[in-house]
Structure formats: structure tokens, C-alpha cells
Structure 1
């Protein structure tokens, strides 16, 4: 059965580690592998989940500092309970952004409960809900790429129903065409109350879905998953050496087989060297295992390289190379922050529109994630080493650099241990900077 590696479910499974990754359905059978051997390999498959690790690293950096909001009391009250179920806006947007990183885009509906009320003050506030690309049934846009209408599928009492939003109202129907109407109403917003949250800029600016940010990472992680499974199979098949014992003729072979030859540490084996060779164990060659391990290690580095996280992967590089990767990572983070800021600004406009107001506030997401500061610190450290400043200055600079690279998430005892290594001249981080500075030349 073909594996739909570009499907939304495959991308989601790559993050959760569930689905075909846990059942082995995402493994590819080798052309010379028996069905029994493949089934055994599927049962033993373990998924090395680098996709989740990388996504969580980026998401943690994105939301380490909360956005700055100056949008009035009404919006502040909305942000405390943004979905009407007790979840605050930061939590929801971070969750939506995770999904957007996996699927490319998440659609955020800004709706308002339908409740009879005497005054606007008695009305329930707006709330947000999300839909995945798989829920988008159809949509239409004008020449500028602005929605005329959007239709999503959803489940109601075990049956599929379809909710359509237009610039003037909404329709809930039993069919996607909206002919068998269940309920309908007007909202008077003047626009479709749906916001597209992207993780990257769409190829076409008017497109309503972007490419998955993790697509290339998922493909590499899937490849690594298959290679790791093959390596485990090699280990199992070659775990024990084959015992070879020479026999003089077929009669002796049959006798040994009938007696049930058993070897162990509590018994011995007698043999006649004159009538045959010496018994021995034959070990399989280690070449295939070494090749698999080298290929797996290279694939892991490719994963970090694509995500611009070489400084996490453990490969020693020059300060210039590290600075480049820091800038690339910072650029990706800044793009995500900008897109989330744009989406929230649209959400704020709709929240105010639902309440008969115009949004005139300010929303700003952090754009500097300290990666540039780390790159600058690396340059400063290399300059300090090149200038041969005092040993104490050098040690203190290295300690500061370590804290900037590892951040506040590192346990204090780990930082203390690294400081002790620096003081004892056993600092691998300082050696790395010194090597980079030395290789740069005068």
C-alpha cells in the first residue's frame, strides 16, 4: 500500500509519533524481505521523533516572551477566555501555530454566540475556534484574494454538516452546496469572519494555504525511521555468532543432531583435531551495521541543518558558520512571529466588529529571539581569544557565552558544572571558539 507522505495525517503523525509510525504501517518492505520478517520488523519499529523536538524548540522560542498588547479592556477580557472554554489567547494561538507549522495553515473562526439579550452589554463576548485544512470544503475569493465565502465541514450528532460564512452572514446546512439549510443568520461584519494563520508566507500572496514548514523535516525523519528499523533488524539478525563445528561424516552429524548438541559455560565439547578442523564461532561482518550507523548519523545532522539548528546538533563549526545559522533561525522565527501578529490583528478587528467597535489598539510580537545576541557574543569571544586578553577575562567571557547559548531553561547545577569546567580549563565551548578564531587567521 502506498504511503501518502504529503497528506495532512502523515504530517500530524510525524509530530505525535502515532498512526503508521507506531503500527509500522509507514515502514517500507525490502524487496527481498519475507512477509513474516517484515511483520516482525513492524512490531519492533521505534520512531526517533526529531520533528516534535525541532517544532517544540521553535515554538518555545516564539512564545518565551508574550506579545505586547494595548487594545483596551474589552479585548483584554476576551484574551483571558478566548475560546469561551477557559483557555487564554496566548495558549490558543501557540497551539494553532504548532498546527500551522505542521500543516502550513490553520483557519481561525471568530464567532459570537447567538443569545437573546436586551442590550449589547448583556450579549456574550466573541470567541475563536479553529479548523484544519482538511475541514475546508470550498471557498471563493475576489481578485485581491479576499474571501467572498468559506465553507467548513464539522460533525453534529455523528453526522457531517457544513457551515458557510459569507461577508454578510452564515448558513448551516446538511450539504456542502447549502441547499438543505438547518439554520442561518446575518452578522453584518462586512467580511468573512475567518482568519488564516500561516507558518510561512504562501508562494502566491493571495493563497489561503501555505506549505507545511516541517515538510522536508518530516520526509527526512521518515527516512531515518526506516533506516533505524533496518539497523535494528541487522542487530537482531547478527546479534549472535554462528557456531561451526567440523564433522568427519554424515553419520556423526546425524548423531549430534539427535543428541541435541547444547553448548554453554557449564559443559564442554570434545573433538578430534585429526579428523577435522577446530570448532569456532563465525561472526557476521560489521560493514553493513557501520554503514547504517554512519548514514543515520548523517541524516540526523541533515535534520538539524534544514531547521537551521546546527548549534543544537553537536557538530563543531566556526563562529562564522554559527552566526549564519543563528541568523537563519532568527529569520524563520521572525517570519512566524510576523504572521501570527498579522493573524491576531485580524482577530482583534473581528472581535471589535462583533461588538460594534473599531479596533484602534496595538499588537506587537517579539522579533528578536536572542540568537543575534549569541552570534555577536561569539564574535566578541573570538576577538577576545585572538587578542590574548587576560585568562580571567577569557573565562568570564566564556561563562557569559554559555549562559546565552543554553538560556534560562538549563538547570542551575548544569550551568554551575560548566562554570567549574571553564575554571579548570576543561571548557569544550571555549575550545570550540578558540579553534574557530584560530582557523579564521589574521
Structure 2
């Protein structure tokens, strides 16, 4: 049996994404060898976190769920109720999938338990009244404690921990599913509940953040390097703040014989006298070199994070690139998004398959996640369209196809009916132009014959 030893990694990913925990209270900062406790406490209080992990993760997930996922199924009463409330707390399937997609991408995997109510009604109406239906529970990898595969690679048992709260406080519960049974134990390993698993399979769905061998139950998170880089930027920002805080003000210097020196008060309401045979007092500024080095290092690390994520040509980094280079960057981004969309689609279909097994009904379910994430530059699209029209290709079909490309780029979310109306108007205008051109040609021929 394997044991989860990656909790520290998962905590870093969680805090880096949400800007919470160690980045909020400053505990992520490491105390200098000769730093006083007072200075360390002050430095933690002044620390600030520049969150790059959050936007990077979101940019690899949100495009998949920009629009409602296309779903087709037999609309039974039980299945409709399930789709509207998949987790018994009112979350519909679309929201559940988009929420857990973030966890799958962030941690590398998330597990979905498709469970069923222990007590069922005497009729379907009773089941609907009690919501005695299958339900989903998301299990983050930090809570996975054990698993086994047989020689064929089939998952034969799966264990995880959970925490719940009641009047007596928080309690740890240990859950285990096998192909034949299930059980629940307390934190002292005392058996609380158990039962038979009539599905004869472990009702767990593996949802990976990228294409992964299913036997890798706790794969290395895809974005751990980016999270650690953001962690280092957090430290550099603290050092930069310390330099700015300690050396922000210039220092006034003046010549002195070294004797009979007294305190001198400098301000806007008094004067500073100095001997006429000496140089005037002047301000000296602290060396800006260390701060500039830190700022340059932070800038480079930010660029590296976007480069590692494959988003350097999309967000965060401004650079002049050729059209071919942009195309290759887009291809990489598009393939990564498509790969994740495939993982989401596989997970959703597996969830519904287990629902059908628990509910004892077939809903003929199908879903279709997007396979193209075209990100058009509107200005480039319009310029290309104008160049196409400038070719003077005398083809009505060609002109209409160019117009469609312009509409798709300039108004991507246009209502389908309005889109059809515009195309029909363009078609009619093209027909009128074609007829008037033909009529004009006939007149020219008649005049030339006269």
C-alpha cells in the first residue's frame, strides 16, 4: 500500500494559487541567519505576494468552460434531478465540472467518488422526494492514503481521508472502497460503518490534468515548477522591500573639523550655516545596484513562468514575433487546451457511466468538449480580410466566406439568428450586384452594336 507523502507540495500549490496560507501570513519567508525576531516579524507583516500561478492556471482551464458544454441524454426525472444537484449541496454538473477542473489542473489529478444513498425509497417518487440518488464527492490528492491495482491494471481498492464537523468539533474519517465492499473508520481506526459494493468495481473516477498513466495515482503536478518560481519571487520581493525600507532616504553630508560637533536639526523652517571656505553640504544616495539586480531577477523569473506554461505569447510577456512564430506558439497552447478538454470529457463520461450503474437506468449520455480554441487577433483578421478583397477575385462565394471569417472574429458571440440574417443580407447584396453588373454588360454590348 502506498502512502501520500506529497502534502507539502499540494499545500504550496494551493497557497500559490489562492494567495492564502503561508503567502498571506508571511510564514513562507525564511528567517536570515542573523536576523532578529523583531525584524523578521516586521518583514513578514510587510510581505506582499504577486500571484502569477492563479492567472496561469485559470488561462489553461477557463477557455474549456467558456461556453456551456454540449450534452445530449434521455431526460429522465431522476437524471434531471442529478444534473441539477450532483453533490447534494445544490451544485449543477456544469459548475461542478468547471470547479473540479481547476483542482485537476492545479494538483495534477483529482478523484471523483460516485456514491449512492444508503437508504432508497420504495418507489421512484420516494427517491425523488428524498433525493435518494447517486451523488459526487471530490477527493483532492492530498487526502488519498492508499490504493492497489491488480495485474491487469484494474483499481481494486482505494482509501482516502476526510474531515467533517459537528457539535463536538472536527472529526477525521477514513474511507476505503474495494470491488466488493466499503467501510468507514474513525481517527483511531475503529470501524464505524461498512457494507457491500454491489457494483463490483471501485466507483472512483480518475481526472488527470494531462494525459497520464492511470496507474500513477499521484502524478507530479504540471505546475509545481511555476509555483516554486512564484515562491522564490515572493522572497525576492521581500528583500526588495527591505532594501527600499532601509535605504529609501538620502543622507545629508557636510564637512567638519571633527570637534565640537553638536546635533543639527534640518528642516524647511530653519537654516544650515556652513563656513564660506568649505564645500556646500550635499545629499548622497544609497547604492541602487542591489535593488536593480533584484528587480531584473524578478522580471526574468516572471518571463520564465509564462515561458514554462507556454503562455508567453498570450499573456504576461510582450515581445515582437513573426507571424510564423506566433502560429507555432498558438499551436502549442491550443494542443494543451485540447489535451485538457479530452481529460475533462473522459472524466465526465466515466462519472455518468457510474451514475447509470447506481441508478439502474440508461440515459444514452454523450458530451462534447471543445476541440478548437482559436484566439483571433481582430486587427490582424480585418487586415487579412481587406487584403483578400483587394485581390479582386470575382467570386461571390469567395467574398461570402471572407465575410464569415470577419464575423467570427469581430463578433464571436453573435446570436445565431442575427448571424444568419447578416449572411442572408450579404448574399442578397451579392446577387443584386451580380445582376446589375450583368445588366450593365448587356447595355454596353447593345450600345457597341449600335
Counterpart of 2:179 (choices 146, 150, 167) is 167
Compute the displacement of 1:97 (Å).
Answer: 1.1
Structure 1: how far apart are the matches of 2:295 and 2:388? 38
Compute the displacement of 1:271 (Å).
Answer: 0.7
Counterpart of 1:306?
308
Counterpart of 2:246?
237
Compute the displacement of 1:193 (Å).
Answer: 0.9
Counterpart of 2:434?
none
1:201 equivalent in alignment to 2:226: no
Compute the displacement of 1:329 (Å).
Answer: 1.3
Counterpart of 1:416?
none
Counterpart of 1:61?
63
Counterpart of 2:444?
none
Q: Is the 8 A contact 1:148 1:192 kept in 2?
A: yes
Structure 2: how far apart are the matches of 1:176 and 1:384? 73
Structure 2 counterparts to residues 1-150 of structure 1, below 5 A: 7-31=9-33, 33-74=35-76, 75-123=79-127, 124-150=132-158
Compute the displacement of 1:332 (Å).
Answer: 1.2
Structure 2: how far apart are the matches of 1:152 and 1:165? 9
Compute the displacement of 1:173 (Å).
Answer: 2.1
Q: CA offsets per residue over residues 277-298 of structure 1, 9 Å max, x none?
A: 4311111122222222222222
Tell me the secondary structure at the aligned position of residue 110 of structure 1: strand
Counterpart of 1:154 (choices 158, 162, 166) is 162
Compute the displacement of 1:337 (Å).
Answer: 0.8
Compute the displacement of 1:387 (Å).
Answer: 11
Tell me the secondary structure at the aligned position of residue 75 of structure 2: helix
Q: Is the 8 A contact 1:27 1:42 kept in 2?
A: yes
Counterpart of 1:247?
256
Q: CA 1:35 to 1:318, structure 2 compared with 1: closer, same or farther past 3 Å?
A: farther
More deviation, 98-107/157-166: 157-166
Compute the displacement of 1:33 (Å).
Answer: 4.8
1:219 equivalent in alignment to 2:228: yes
Q: Is the 8 A contact 1:65 1:366 kept in 2?
A: no
Structure 2: how far apart are the matches of 1:384 and 1:209? 52
Structure 1: how far apart are the matches of 2:33 and 2:387? 56
1:184 equivalent in alignment to 2:194: yes
The number of residues matched between the two structures is 385
Counterpart of 2:268?
265
Q: Is the 8 A contact 1:220 1:299 kept in 2?
A: yes
Structure 2: how far apart are the matches of 1:316 and 1:31? 44
Give unpaired runs (5+ residues) of structure 1: 391-396, 409-442
Q: CA 1:231 to 1:407, structure 2 compared with 1: closer, same or farther past 3 Å?
A: farther
Q: CA 1:247 to 1:402, structure 2 compared with 1: closer, same or farther past 3 Å?
A: farther
Q: CA 1:175 to 1:286, structure 2 compared with 1: closer, same or farther past 3 Å?
A: closer
Structure 2: how far apart are the matches of 1:36 and 1:85? 46
Q: Is the 8 A contact 1:220 1:303 kept in 2?
A: yes
Q: Is the 8 A contact 1:81 1:87 kept in 2?
A: yes
Q: CA 1:236 to 1:407, structure 2 compared with 1: closer, same or farther past 3 Å?
A: farther
Compute the displacement of 1:404 (Å).
Answer: 4.7
Q: TM-score, normalised by structure 1?
A: 0.79
Tell me the secondary structure at the aligned position of residue 312 of structure 1: coil
Structure 2: how far apart are the matches of 1:5 and 1:297? 30
1:343 equivalent in alignment to 2:347: yes
Q: Is the 8 A contact 1:200 1:211 kept in 2?
A: no
Q: Is the 8 A contact 1:11 1:102 kept in 2?
A: yes
RMSD, aligned CA? 3.1
Q: Is the 8 A contact 1:49 1:221 kept in 2?
A: yes
